[in-house]
Chains A and B, each alone.
Chain A
Amino acid sequence: MNILEMIKPSQIDLEMKAGTKDEVIHHLTHMLYENDKISSEKKFYDNVFYRESVGETGMGNYIAIPHGESDAVKEVSVAIGRVIEPVEWESLDDLPVRLIFMLAVPIENKNNVHIKMLSQLASILTYEDIQNELMNSVSKEDFINCFFKHFNQYASENNN
């Protein structure tokens, strides 16, 4: 499987209309539902909010990676949103966030290849140059190309 099968244009909104963390999570949850990745919006976002209550998912430098592990998830997937105005979020550097990667993982039948892709996705988001490129990409195509390039480079160097 190719990472592009996971980073689909229909699961990316770079001009997301959301002013709060709740709105961000609802919007991204809805995107997953529309793409048939989850069977229940309520069940999934309840799980994401539960995870939020356990600890920060704002990873620093305006990026957040909220995630849910629920039996409402049909397939390992990711929804990506970017907002113009930073949104308040519990984060490790106490800054608000602009770019949000929401990860969805099922409880049973985990496909390890897909889980590995998510872990590599999270890994590349620790690099400031990649964060900045994604933050500043001007179109969805540009965003996907940038992600694809860095992801493949990382994966080729780190497949053990």
Chain B
Amino acid sequence: MKIVGITSCTVGIAHTYMAREKLISTGKKLGFDVEIETQGSGGVEYNLNESDISNADVVLIASDVVVSGKERFIGKPIVEVPVSAAIKTPESLLLKIEKTLKEKKGE
């Protein structure tokens, strides 16, 4: 499963980056390809590129604020959660996304 996503939070100096790290390290553990863009106090970093987005099975937005550039994901399934969910329970979050995608494809 390939996931692209965005993390963002109110101040943009801690949660945004911790959520990214958790999603990527958990993705590695589960064998998922995870690319995460951060929209934090330092601006947009780790920008998603077009091929990452077009190859993605799903888009994950873990944020407590409005993120920019969502139009890039038109046509893709989008999952939106609070940023804390990505820090607190990244494994169950990613597994749940996988399960939901499989069920959708099976329909």
Contact = CB atoms under 8 A, between A and B. Distances in A.
Given A55-B64, A126-B25, A115 B88 contact: no
Given A55-B64, A116-B42, A126-B18, A67 B11 contact: yes
Interface string A137-157: 000000000000000000000
Contact of A54 (B10, B13, B87): B10
B2 interface: no
Contact of A103 (B10, B13, B16, B25): B13
A110 B11 CA distance: 13
Question: Among B14, B16, B17, B25, which residue has the most Cβ atoms of chain A within 10 A?
Answer: B14
A35 B95 CA distance: 46
B14 A112 contact: no
Contacts of A103: 13-14
Interface in B1-40: 10-11, 13-18, 20-22, 25, 38, 40
The 3 closest A-B pairs by CB, nearest first: A119-B17, A115-B42, A92-B88
Nearest to A92: B88
Given A92-B87, A110-B42, A119-B38, A126 B21 contact: yes
Contacts of B18: 59, 65, 122-123, 125-126
Contact of A112 (B11, B15, B43, B87): B43
Contacts of A123: 17-18, 20-21
Contacts of A112: 42-43
B14 to A, nearest CB: 4
B100 interface: no
A115 B13 contact: yes
B41 interface: yes
Contact of B46 (A115, A125, A160): A160
Interface in B51-82: 64
Interface in A93-122: 93, 103, 105, 110, 112, 115-116, 118-120, 122
Contact of A105 (B10, B20, B38, B41): B41
